[in-house]
Amino acid sequence: MLFLDTPAGILISIVSVVVALAAQIGVTSAYGKYSKIRVQSGLTGWQVAQMIVAGTGVAVVQHNGGKMSDHFDPRSKTIALSPEVYSGSTIAALGIAAHEAGHALQYDKGYFPVKLRNGILPLAQIGSWLAWPLIALGFIFSSFTFLIDIGIAFFIAALLFQVFTLPVEFNASRRAVRILEGNAYLTPAENKGAKAMLRAAAMTYVAAVVTSVLQLLRLLLIANRRRR
């Protein structure tokens, strides 16, 4: 039990699991609820996403396999929607489609937090690959404890990427809600549901940051004990 050798470490791990699980339950519950409520307009997720990005030249909306696999790919400028969202006419489908279109608009408008997040992406990717192996080696081999500090530094880089992702995700959701309401794609009551679902989805990103911060605290506590 290399990283669970203190009561504080065990407690932090338990809290991390609870936070992540609560966020996942929240988004699953919200999606389950609003994916069953059809919208009065009869519009599909594909139609809404297509109308939002029409004229911008920043995205193509296409079908994507897999449940909840919706995303915007800035490299190909493609909005990929899962089957339930692409052809769905539910509050959840329109909310998710508008959210992904919101990401496309962020790139079109040059939204600064996106540039900031993309700037740290290469370092964050390296950090996510190397952090834990370096930390493990530092704990296993007493002559290489400096690897713990390097691993923690890489871990922080990956954490910063998660932090910079928060404003990107919240902004995409705000854009989605504003567009859905402003263009009457949803009724006020339906838009309220879309807002609740997108808020639940955003909380998974918040939970990821909280979990990473707790894990960082855990690592710092154990590393400090190791140096005594």
Q: To which H or E segment does residue 155 belong? A: helix 146-182
pLDDT score of 1:
40
Active site residues: 100
Task: Give residue-wise pLDDT tens across range 71-128.
Answer: 999 989 999 999 999 999 999 999 999 999 999 999 999 999 999 999 999 999 998 9
Q: Please, are residues 73 and 80 in contact by the beta-carbon 8 Å criterion?
A: yes
Among candidates 12, 17, 18, which has minimal Cα distance to 217? 12
**pLDDT bracket for residue 4 (50, 70, 90):** very low
Task: Give residue-wise pLDDT tens across range 8-25.
Answer: 777 888 898 999 999 999
Higher pLDDT among residues 77 and 67, named by residue: 77
**pLDDT bracket for residue 143 (50, 70, 90):** confident
Q: How many Cα atoms occupy the beta-carbon half-sphere of 88 within 13 Å?
A: 23
76-99: burial string, b at 16+ Cβ within 10 Å, e else: ebbbbbbebbbebbbbbbbbbbbb
Residue 25 C-alpha from the chain's centroid: 15
Q: Which sequence spans correspond to the domains of the chain?
A: 7-227
Task: Give residue-wise pLDDT tens across range 26-49.
Answer: 999 999 999 999 999 999 999 999
Task: Give residue-wise pLDDT tens across range 161-219.
Answer: 999 999 999 999 999 999 999 889 999 999 999 999 999 999 999 999 999 999 999 88
